[in-house]
Amino acid sequence: MKFYSTNDPDHRVDLQEAIFRGLPADNGLYMPERIDPLPDAFFAELSNLSFAEIGYRISRQLLGDTIPENDLRRIVAETVNFPAPVIRLDERTYVLELFHGPSLAFKDFGARFMSRLMQHFNDESQGDLIILVATSGDTGGAVAAGFFDTPGIQVVILYPSGKVSDLQEKQLTTLGKNIHALEIDGSFDDCQAMVKHAFLDGELRSKLRLSSANSINISRLIPQTFYYFEAYKQLLQSGGEGVPMVFCVPSGNFGNLTAGLIAQRLGLPVHHFIAATNANDVVPRYLASGEYRTAPSVPTLSNAMDVGAPSNFARMANLFGQIWGKGQPMPAVHAELARHVSGYAFDDAATETAVRTVKEEYGYTIDPHGAVGYLALKEWQKGHPDTRGVILETAHPSKFLPDMRRILQDEIEVPERLAELANRQKVAQQMPARFATFKEWLLTRSVEKG
């Protein structure tokens, strides 16, 4: 299987180059050259397949025979060695819990898969591989956990100062060894821009082995398709066959929703997708108007979605025929995207109300990101009542402890692996949102080994 750039379909590389390079030189994003539907036999036996077997078969479909079967099975088994349960709220509303991994966020799936793929291909004789990652909250913790103490790999995490929760920050800044945290005086968009700039900088490319762990890296998206199929399997087992299924995806950088669209291309019978955002509503505005305009991100209660220039929108548009380097998405691309995806945006006041409503009506504690998803699903279902909606619950509520306590006026259970971080000492390098400073830091430090 080859991977092409969304800016140039003729630019093609193999899997190893795609995951290590992260970003093509033309500033596009890598996509698999084919997304063929899984065979009918797969769907016939889906309800009896394990999560790991589902992941293996999807990986084989998207990666081809690049990785030997035994190695790929091991990589997938180590990626999905925790569950993704579907919780029923009522007959039309379900929650897919994606926070049962090490960092209590859905990004554990992508980070673990990527780290093991990179280990498989990494040649330590060439020097350490330096993983650069920008985070608005959960990505950094998942990447830190996924790559911690991995031989031959150093991780540099850029995060916006004061814009992640205290426990999220502790997940980024307390591990040490090969994990390095940079606290950037700016927004997530600034962090993401600095990372992207690094990959396009010729001097850095010539002197350092760089790769990315953000969802700009195609290896992050592949395992995110697994749990869409896992959710569908669980709904089949509970008698959901024949009922139109929609997925409501709390969205920031839009990697999760892109993975859902890829799952649909693989044959998953998804009736519709709902993009749920906070005040950072670039994609809902595009879906409504047909005009794509990024905007500076604004801080909200659902901080992991505070993205004003979502990278993966290029992949979403590309799936429907857009070559991103050609400018604004073509009208036909907008029409097809709007046919498959609806977008809604909600402010913090509505989000807080939704957290309380879900607790009062269902006895379920939903985090602020999932609450935005709940609002979007309920709004969409007003016109589509005969559907089953699955909300992707992307992070454990305890990761947003002060806000959750304030909203619910109650204590929130904190899993032990998160609670123990509270007393650990934060270690982070403060840095302005200037690429020149970041570049100098990379070149002069060459990222010290743990």
pLDDT at 239 exceeding the cut of 80: no
Domains and CATH numbers, the chain: 66-105+220-408 (3.40.50.1100), 108-216+422-445 (3.40.50.1100)
Mean pLDDT calculated for residue range 267-279: 98
* pLDDT band for position 417 (cuts 50, 70, 90): confident
- Identify the pLDDT of residue 240: 66
Look at residue 28 and tell me whether its pLDDT is greater than 80: yes
* pLDDT-based confidence at residue 449 (cuts at 50, 70, 90): very low
Asked if residue 222 has pLDDT above 80, the reply is: yes
pLDDT in tens, 47-88: 999 999 999 999 999 999 999 999 999 999 999 999 999 999
pLDDT digits (tens, 9 = 90+) for 167-205: 889 988 999 999 999 999 999 889 989 998 998 899 998
User: Residue range 112-132: average pLDDT?
Assistant: 87
pLDDT of 450 over the 70 cut? no
In SS3 terms, the chain reads as CEEEECCEEEEEEEHHHHHHHCCCCCCCCEEECCCCCCCHHHHHHHHHCCHHHHHHHHHHHHHCCCCCHHHHHHHHHHHCCCCCCEEEEECCEEEEECCCCCCCECHHHHHHHHHHHHHHHCCHHHCCEEEEEECCCHHHHHHHHHHCCCCCEEEEEEEECCCCCHHHHHHHHCCCCCEEEEEEECCHHHHHHHHHHHHHCHHHHHHCEEEECCCCCHHHHHHHCHHHHHHHHHHHHCCCCCCCEEEEEECCCCHHHHHHHHHHHCCCCCCEEEEEECCCCHHHHHHHHCCCCCCCCCCCCCHHHCCCCCCCHHHHHHHCCCCHHHCCCCHHHHHHHHHHEEEEECCHHHHHHHHHHHHHHHCCCCCHHHHHHHHHHHHHHCCCCCCEEEEEECECHHHHHHHHHHHHCCCCCCCHHHHCCCCCCCCCEEEECCHHHHHHHHHHHCCCCC
What would the mean pLDDT of 262-287 be, rounded to a whole number? Answer: 98
pLDDT over 60 (residue 448): no
Segment 18-38 shows an average pLDDT of: 91
In the chain, the percentage of residues whose pLDDT exceeds 90 is 75
- Mean residue pLDDT of the chain comes to 92
Q: Kindly report the pTM of this predicted structure.
A: 0.89
Model pLDDT for residues 316-356, shown as the tens digit of each residue: 999 999 988 777 899 999 999 999 999 999 999 999 999 99
